[in-house]
Amino acid sequence: MDLQVVEQVALLGEWIADGDVVVLSGAGLSTDSGIPDYRGPSGSARRSTPMTYQTFTGDPIARRRYWARSHLGWRTIGDARPNEGHAAVASLQHQGVVGGIITQNVDGLHQAAGATGVVELHGNLARIACLACGELTPREVLGERLDAANPAFTGVALAFNADGDAELADESLDGFTVVDCTDCGGLLKPDVVYFGETVPADRVARSFELVESARTLLVLGSSLTVMSGRRFVLRAAKLGIRVAIVNRGVTRGEPYAGLIIDAPLGIVLPHLVALPAA
């Protein structure tokens, strides 16, 4: 780290040592686990339009193609392991200085690293929900059913996206068989918030609760481009709560942050844990 970053990290260490820190994490925290972010330096160039809830429920062909891509993409997301950044956040939580974790990610890596009580704003790809009866099942169970229904599926991903959606050649998508709920025959969907859906009100309310009780809101790996995460920064700034951002590249939270560190999270976060003040 250069001298400026070292000084910034030392200041952030002092803020964290004060306690009552709430973490808001984005896709940039998971890039070291092999999951691309959306807009940062490792972001994949998405060539297909993100799936919307309206298209998923209303267009059988689009739904079939989505499941083919997602089935392949899950092999990357499902195999991902927590990196040093996730471990550092969990460690700070166990030390008692981080009192809450809000994540925009759908990969479950905070929990895999040992964090607890994580508010998953956009859900988790590891769960599958039936849109008719509400039954939740593990993604592994659906994966086995899709494998059995598509023994000849040999799609090769051209690229992966942070939401678990893979880019595939059109010829790999044709003929893919979708399976439905074993209990009621209803449509199955990853238990995540699609474009066109709203984040469940209880998750939003819990997140605002955490932010409003914080001394510092620490944003990790998010450009804050969409309001889903930026609204918490706006609330913190309005209430006079300190905002610190660690992110590679530009962030829309800049006008509201008292501290911005443009450096790799996998270096900054373990260093914070090692600081005597933390």
- The whole-number pLDDT of residue 168 equals 73
Q: Is 193 annotated as a binding residue?
A: no
Rounded to an integer, what distance in angstroms lies between the CA atom of residue 179 and that of residue 119? 29
| Mean pLDDT for the stretch of residues 54-61 | 94
Q: What's the rounded Cα separation, in Å, for the pair 86 and 166?
A: 24
Which two three-digit tokens encode residue 215? 């001394």
Other C-beta atoms closer than 10 Å to the C-beta of 233 total 25
**Residue 22 labelled as part of a binding site:** no
109 φ, ψ (degrees, to nearest 5): -75, -25
- Of 71, 86, 110, 122, the active-site residue reads 122
Q: What pairing do the DSSP bridges indicate for beta strands 136-138 and 159-160?
A: unpaired
Give the other-Cβ count within 10 Å of 54's Cβ.
Answer: 13
Q: How far is CA 101 from CA 29, 74, 86, 105, in A?
A: 13, 24, 11, 11
The CATH number of residue 54's host domain is 3.40.50.1220
Q: What is the pLDDT of residues 226-254, one digit of tens each?
A: 899 999 999 999 999 999 999 999 999 99
Residue 160: pLDDT band (50, 70, 90) is low
- Is residue 202 a contact partner of residue 10, using CB atoms and an 8 Å limit? no
User: Residue 262, exposed/middle/buried by CB under 10 A (0-12, 13-18, 19+)?
Assistant: middle
* Alpha-carbon radius of gyration of the chain: 19
Q: Which of 154, 129, 130 is nearest to 75 (CA)?
A: 154
Split at pLDDT 50, 70, 90, the class of 50 is confident
Q: Is the pLDDT of residue 43 over 50?
A: no
In total, how many domains does the chain have? 1
Q: What residues contact 77, with CB distance under 8 A and at least 6 apart?
A: 35, 107, 125, 160, 164
How far apart (Å, rounded) are the C-alpha atoms in residues 105 and 22?
16
Q: Supply the pTM of this predicted model.
A: 0.91
184 is in an annotated binding site: yes
Given this model, what pLDDT does residue 171 score? 72
- Which residues does 4 contact at the CB level (< 8 Å), separation at least 6? none
Distance CA 264, CA 3 (A): 15
3-state secondary structure of 104: coil
Tell me: is residue 133 an annotated ligand-binding position: yes
Annotation says 122 is catalytic = yes
CA gap 101, 112 in Å, rounded: 14
Tell me which residue range forms the domain holding 10.
3-274
**Is the Cβ–Cβ distance between 38 and 250 less than 8 Å?**
no
